[in-house]
Amino acid sequence: MACSDELPDTNQQENNGHGCDLRGRVWKALLGIYRISALEYVTLVQRGLSPVAEKIQNDTFRTLMTDRAFQDRVSNEMLTRILNAFVWKAHDQPPSRLMNLRFSYVQGMNVLAAPFLYVLPELDAFFAFSSFIQNSCPLYVQPALEGVHCGLKLLDRCVEEIDPDLFKYLQSKQLTAKVYAFPSVMTFSVCTPPLDQALHLWDFFLAYGVHLNILCIVAQLLNMRDDLMNNQRLKSVISPMKLLRSFPDLDAGTILATTQTLIPRLPEDLYDMLVRHTFDPIVCDMLLQEPDADVRG
């Protein structure tokens, strides 16, 4: 549904802190949030500032600063509470025996919490955010951001597979994913305005898998392809590095349409790694041992 019938924009009236609108309910269902405990959240909030509160404080007030609708709706205090509560929750959990995962606060998590607080009431947002972090993309928020680095490597590979000419061109300018796509990968595209378009992308990610963000970034590159490559002939117009510094505003409809044509074009083993890279440490370890695209010849 998230894909075929577009979800309506987040409803300001319906979700005024008391209930969830349609998108909110769909997101919760997709994340498997069937029950929430107000007591648990209140208890976590009552513990006050976490050991990394200072780091959090440093980022919350500059989260999506340029988005008016977000600023009107989500306060600094809400972000601070949800992030500190998450740190306490993670603090209490024994590290998993199977995968040596550690959760705390890393820069960028503030941006990941933003869509949840925008779409859902704070209490629901906390549980949805926690599930997203711990289940959907646990490797993205490890202290060294291993998952993000894997995502970047896979992005290079997907571009190479789908558009070898573009890949070679970018590579010749030393523009590998690590240089131009770090924010888009880490924040699942929320770093690119406007937020309401990013939310449509998230409908798709939550329904079909958060790994699809990588292909949405490929789609954005393909949409900019002419501008990027034209620079070859028209020297000194706008350098590709400048063009890629901040991506054009998101247009979810176009991006998703392109993305869906990309999926069947990827070899199965690459797609399999793509699916697993956000949560599977085996894929992550394997990818991180391979040389970077900028040193591959």
Partner 1 sequence: MRGGRKALLKVIILGDSGVGKTSLMNQYVNNKFSTQYKATIGADFLTKEVLVEERSVTMQIWDTAGQERFQSLGVAFYRGADCCALVYDVNNVKSFENLDSWRDEFLLQANPRDPENFPFVVIGNKVDVEESKRQVTQKRAMAWCQQKGNIPYFETSAKEGINVEQAFFTIAKNSLKQEADVELYSDFPDPIKIDGDTSVAKSAGCEC
Give the binding site for partner 1 (CB under 8 A).
Answer: 55, 58-59, 62-66, 106-108, 110-111, 143-145, 148-149, 172, 174, 176, 178-179, 182-183, 186-187, 191, 239, 241-242, 245, 292, 294, 297
Cα–Cα dist 114/60, whole Å: 10
Give long-range contacts, CB 8 A cutoff, 24+ apart: 65-73.
Answer: 66/193, 67/193, 67/194, 67/195, 69/118, 69/195, 69/196, 70/114, 70/118, 70/195, 73/12, 73/117, 73/118
Which residue, 123 or 179, is less far from partner 1 as judged by CB? 179
Which residue, 142 or 259, is less far from partner 1 as judged by CB? 142
Tokens of 278: 């956000």
Minimum CB–partner distance for residue 103 and partner 1 (Å): 14
Which residue, 16 or 58, is less far from partner 1 as judged by CB? 58
Minimum CB–partner distance for residue 278 and partner 1 (Å): 16
Minimum CB–partner distance for residue 107 and partner 1 (Å): 4
Which residue, 24 or 147, is less far from partner 1 as judged by CB? 147
Question: What is the crossing angle of helices 252-262 and 195-208, to 10°?
Answer: 30
Cα–Cα dist 293/166, whole Å: 14
Which residue, 83 or 262, is less far from partner 1 as judged by CB? 83
Cα–Cα dist 61/45, whole Å: 19
Minimum CB–partner distance for residue 51 and partner 1 (Å): 15
Minimum CB–partner distance for residue 66 and partner 1 (Å): 6
| HSE-CB of 69 using CA atoms within 13 angstroms | 14
Amino acid symbol at 210: V
